[in-house]
Amino acid sequence: MHIPDGFIDIPTSAAFAAIAAGAVAVSLKGAKSSLDDKTAPLAGLTATFIFAVQMLNFPVAAGTSGHLLGAALATVLVGPYAATLAITIVLLLQALLFADGGLSALGLSVFNMSIVAVWVSYAIFLLVKKILPKTKSSVTAAAGVAAVISVPAAAASFVLQYAIGANATFSVSSVLAAMVGTHILIGIGEALITVFAVGAVLASRSDLVYGYKNQKSSLEIRSAA
């Protein structure tokens, strides 16, 4: 879902770049609370893994492919602020080194994938975790549900940008239907990869997992009260 230069006009791109820059500044502050000597390297590894897996396009429907976005994965592993930073670094390097995604469109892509997909993931993750029993598999399941929804959410966010400032005149409703439809399919692949990766980290180093640690501390608070 890396937006090339030209899809969206310059004023709209600039406005979203400003929003993205603000969100990154907030995340730099916010990430401090979730990153310590042990979890900061995990955040670096998360960004690295997301870069690698984003190269692995999988087929979804006739003539279409998709790849991991990684927002739900990063959010569950390192928390939403560090997740925003991780995905932003990946997008920045992809645009600068690999010509993947336009530079003028970078703010648009950061907004969709590092902000909308991350915070939608976080909200859904917390919601699903709340209604499930307090186990590791619930964390994995909640990450999967967050992953499925995060991808069409990012796609819908692109359609918002298209509606505001597209350099084309095709109807917004047809773009919305096609984008969300296609990205629900990609979201299923997203969920499979997310469940596998979160499961693997929980199995080896559950103490590092943001979405699991929070669960433990809320349990402690409850038992103390």
8 Å CB contact between 113 and 151: no
For other proteins, the closer of residues 115 and 179 by Cβ is 179
For other proteins, the closer of residues 129 and 183 by Cβ is 183
8 Å CB contact between 77 and 201: yes
Residues in region 19-58 near other proteins by CB under 8 A: 28, 31-33, 35-45, 47-49, 51-53, 55-58
Is 129 one of the binding residues for other proteins (CB under 8 A)? no
Is 90 one of the binding residues for other proteins (CB under 8 A)? yes
Return the range that interacts with other proteins (CB under 8 A); candidates 11-19, 91-99, 130-138, 141-149: 91-99
8 Å CB contact between 77 and 147: no
Here's the x/- map for other proteins, 95-124, by CB under 8 A: it reads as xxxxxxxxxx--------------------
Closest distance to other proteins from the beta carbon of 43 (Å): 4
Q: How many residues line the site for other proteins (CB under 8 A)?
A: 74
Closest distance to other proteins from the beta carbon of 36 (Å): 5
Is 15 one of the binding residues for other proteins (CB under 8 A)? no
Closest distance to other proteins from the beta carbon of 31 (Å): 5
Closest distance to other proteins from the beta carbon of 102 (Å): 6
Residues in region 186-225 near other proteins by CB under 8 A: 186, 204-205, 208
Neighbours of 134 (CB within 10 A): 14
Closest CA to 182 of 145, 164, 156, 160: 156
